[in-house]
Amino acid sequence: MNVVAPPAGERSSAHGFSTRALRRIPGWLRLILAGALCALALPPCFVLPVLWVGVPFLMRQSLAATGWRAAAWRGFLFGMGLHTAGLYWLTDAILVRADQFWWFVPFAAPLCAVPLACFIAAGCALFRLVAGADAGPGTGTDTGAGTFTGTGGGARLLLFAGLWTLGDLLRSVVFTGFPWNLWGSVWEWPGLGGTVMTQPAAWVSVHGLTLFTLLLAGAPTLGRRGVAGALAGIVVWAAAGAARLALLHPVGGPSPTVVLVQGDIPEHEKQDRAYALDTFRTYLRLSAAGVAEALRRDHGPVVFVWPETMFPGLLDQDPEARAVMMNATPGAAAALIGSVRWGTDERPRNSLMVVVPGGNITDTYDKAHLVPMGEYQPGFLPFKVVPGGGFAAGPGPRTLRPPGVPAVGALICYEVIFPGAAVQEGDRPRWIVNVTNDAWYGDTAGPRQHLAAARMRAVEEGLPLGRAANTGITAAFDGFGRELGRLEWGRAGTVIATLPPPLPPTLFSRAGLIVPWMLALVVTLLGCLPFVYRRPKFWHKSVNSRRHL
C-alpha cells in the first residue's frame, strides 16, 4: 500500500488543525473565533490551555500584518471575540425588560465589547510598530504557524505582555473604567489550587497576575525552551503562593460573625411594588433565623447584611420598618442594609446603611463607582438614555464603624471589580462587605465572574470579605481568598461565617496600582530595547531619504 504525504502547506499543524482547513475560514472570522476561544479560560470555565493557542496566534497575526493599522484591526477583531463571549450574559439584563428593549438583545454584549477591544487593538498596533519592522520569515504566517526562536523572540513576548497589561490598566480608568474579566482571574479555580495560585496578587494585584499569565501563554512562541520555562515559572509561582499561605498569619482581636442574607427575589418582582411587602417579609424571616443561629454559635458580634437596594422602599425615611427589622433580630449588634436614598439635591443614591438596635441609622455609604449607561449617563452623550440622569455618585471608598463591630469597608456591586479602590486610603478596615444584586444576569457566567472579582479583592487587601447577593452567589472569604461559606445562585437562605482577623497589610494595599504600573512599564521597556538598538541604520536611512525629498 502506497502512502502519499500531503503537500507541506497542507500538513497538520502543531495544534491539530490542517493549514488548508484553516485557510477556508476568512481571516477576520479566525481572529474573532480565537478571541472567543480564549474566553473559556475565564471564570467559571478555567480552560487555561486555550491561552496557549490564542495568545501565540494573536502575536503572530499582529507581526504578519502589513502595518500597524492592519495589526490594530486584527487585535480589534480578537478583542471583539474575547469580550463578546466573556460578556454574553449582559443579554439576560435586557431580557428582564424584553417588552421594551427586545430590539437591543443582539447588540448588548457586542456594543460593550467595542471599547474594550480598542485597548487590545492599540496594543497590537504598538507591538507591530516596534517589533514587526525587522520580523523575519519565522515570526508567523497567515495561519499563525512559526515560532520566535530567533534574535528578539523573548523581547517580543515581553513587549506583547507588557502592552496588553498597560491596556488593562488604562481600561480601569478611561471613561470611569471597566476592568472586568482581567486575565489574572483565570487562576481563581475553586478550592486550594486557586487559593495558592492567586496569592501573588497580594504583591502585584490581579494586573500583575495578568502580566504573568500572558508571559506563560506566549511561551510556545519561543519553542521547547519557552514551554519548559513556562512550566518552571508555574512551579515557582505555586511555591511562592504556598509559602505565603504557610508563613503568614492573621493579626488582631475578635472579628464579627456575619449573616449574609440571600432572598432569591426575581428581578421582575423586586421592581414591582405589589411584591414589596412579600420581599420585606422574606428578608426579615431569613435574617431572624440566621441571627438566632449565629448567636447559638457564641462567637463575635453578629451583623446581618441585606444585598444591594433590597429594602423595598426608602430605609432612611421609614423608622417603623427599621424598628421591626431590629426587633425581629434580637442580639444582633448591627445591620448593613442596601437601600436607595434621596439626597438634598433631589438625586437618588445607591446606599448601604448601618442600622443598630432601636432602629437608628448611624452611618451611610453611597456607591461611588456607578455603572455607565445603567446607573448614570456619561456627560458626553448628546441624547438621553438613563431616565432622570440616573444616580448621584458618592465621594469614594470609606470605612464604616458600626457601634460594637470592627470597622468595615463597603463596596456596592460593580465597585468590587476595581483593584486598588476597595478601601479608604489611610483608614484600613478590618473586613470588607460587598452587597450586590445579580438577579439581572440570570444563572450565567456573570455572577460567577463577579464573585471571582470579590475574591481577588480579599487577596489583594489581605482582608476577609463577606458578599451578600440577592439571587446569588453569596459567599464569605478570609484574607487569603479561602472560602468560608457559600450559597449558590437561585436559592434562598443565609451564609453564616465568623470572619477571621485580617492579615497584615499587603504590599499592594500599601503601594496600590503603582506596583502593576511599574511592573508593566519595566517589562514593556525591556521588550522594546533590543529593537531600538538594532535599528540605528533604519532610522538613519529614513532621515536621509526625507532630506533627499
From 415, 465, 420, select the one nearest 202 (Cα to Cα).
420
Distance in angstroms (rounded) separating the CA atoms of residues 364 and 352: 6
The DSSP symbol for 149 reads -
The DSSP symbol for 18 reads B
In sequence order, the 6+-apart residues with CB closer than 8 A to the CB of 204 are 211, 507, 508, 515, 516, 519
**CB–CB of 459/198 below 8 Å?**
yes
| The pLDDT of residue 252 | 81
Query: Coil, strand or helix: which one is 403?
Result: coil
Name beta bridge partners: 363.
354
Beta strands in 57-115 (DSSP E): none
Distance in angstroms (rounded) separating the CA atoms of residues 108 and 92: 9
| The pLDDT of residue 299 | 77
User: Can 308 be counted among the known catalytic residues?
Assistant: yes
| The pLDDT of residue 16 | 43
| The pLDDT of residue 272 | 84
Backbone dihedral angles phi then psi of residue 302, each to the nearest 5 degrees: -95, 130
What's the sign of the alpha-carbon dihedral 509, 513, 514, 517?
Answer: positive
Stretch (H or E) spanning 334: strand 334-342
Write out the three cell numbers for 428: 484600613
Chain centroid offset of residue 95 CA? 23
Residue 307, exposed/middle/buried by CB under 10 A (0-12, 13-18, 19+)?
buried
Write out the three cell numbers for 382: 448628546
Distance in angstroms (rounded) separating the CA atoms of residues 29 and 37: 12
Place of cell 538598538: 533
Write out the three cell numbers for 483: 472560602
**CB–CB of 542/233 below 8 Å?**
no
Distance in angstroms (rounded) separating the CA atoms of residues 497 and 192: 19
User: Can 38 be counted among the known catalytic residues?
Assistant: no
Ramachandran category for residue 174: left, alpha or beta (phi over 0 → left; psi -120 to 50 → alpha): beta
Q: Before 473, cis peptide (omega within 30)? A: yes
Whole-number Cα distances in Å, 8 to 4, 14, 18, 146, 340:
12, 13, 10, 14, 66
**Rounded-to-10 torsion of CA 534, 536, 537, 542:** 120
Which is catalytic among the residues 188, 267, 367, 375? 367
**CB–CB of 88/95 below 8 Å?**
no
Grouped pLDDT means (10 residues each) for the chain, 549 residues: 44 46 80 96 96 96 94 97 94 69 70 93 96 55 48 87 97 88 96 96 98 96 92 96 96 89 91 91 97 89 96 95 97 97 91 96 94 69 61 91 95 95 94 93 92 97 97 96 96 96 96 97 94 60 44
Chain centroid offset of residue 98 CA? 27
| The pLDDT of residue 535 | 58
Which is catalytic among the residues 188, 267, 308, 460? 308
Ramachandran category for residue 396: left, alpha or beta (phi over 0 → left; psi -120 to 50 → alpha): left
The DSSP symbol for 16 reads S
In sequence order, the 6+-apart residues with CB closer than 8 A to the CB of 69 are 125
Distance in angstroms (rounded) separating the CA atoms of residues 423 and 398: 6
Domains of the chain from N-terminus onward: 21-247+517-540 (no CATH), 257-370+391-503 (3.60.110.10)
Residue 8, exposed/middle/buried by CB under 10 A (0-12, 13-18, 19+)?
exposed
Distance in angstroms (rounded) separating the CA atoms of residues 301 and 102: 47
Distance in angstroms (rounded) separating the CA atoms of residues 547 and 533: 23
From 431, 489, 442, 482, select the one nearest 305 (Cα to Cα).
431
**Tally of CB atoms within 10 A around 43:** 23
Write out the three cell numbers for 136: 523575519
Ramachandran category for residue 251: left, alpha or beta (phi over 0 → left; psi -120 to 50 → alpha): beta
The DSSP symbol for 252 reads S
Which is catalytic among the residues 38, 112, 413, 528? 413
Gyration radius (Cα) of the chain, Å = 26
Residue 76, exposed/middle/buried by CB under 10 A (0-12, 13-18, 19+)?
buried
Write out the three cell numbers for 314: 426608602
Distance in angstroms (rounded) separating the CA atoms of residues 544 and 549: 9
Length of the chain: 549
Q: What share of the chain is helix, strand, coil (3-state, %, to 5)?
A: 55, 15, 35
In sequence order, the 6+-apart residues with CB closer than 8 A to the CB of 400 are 336, 352, 354, 363, 365, 407, 408, 409, 410, 429
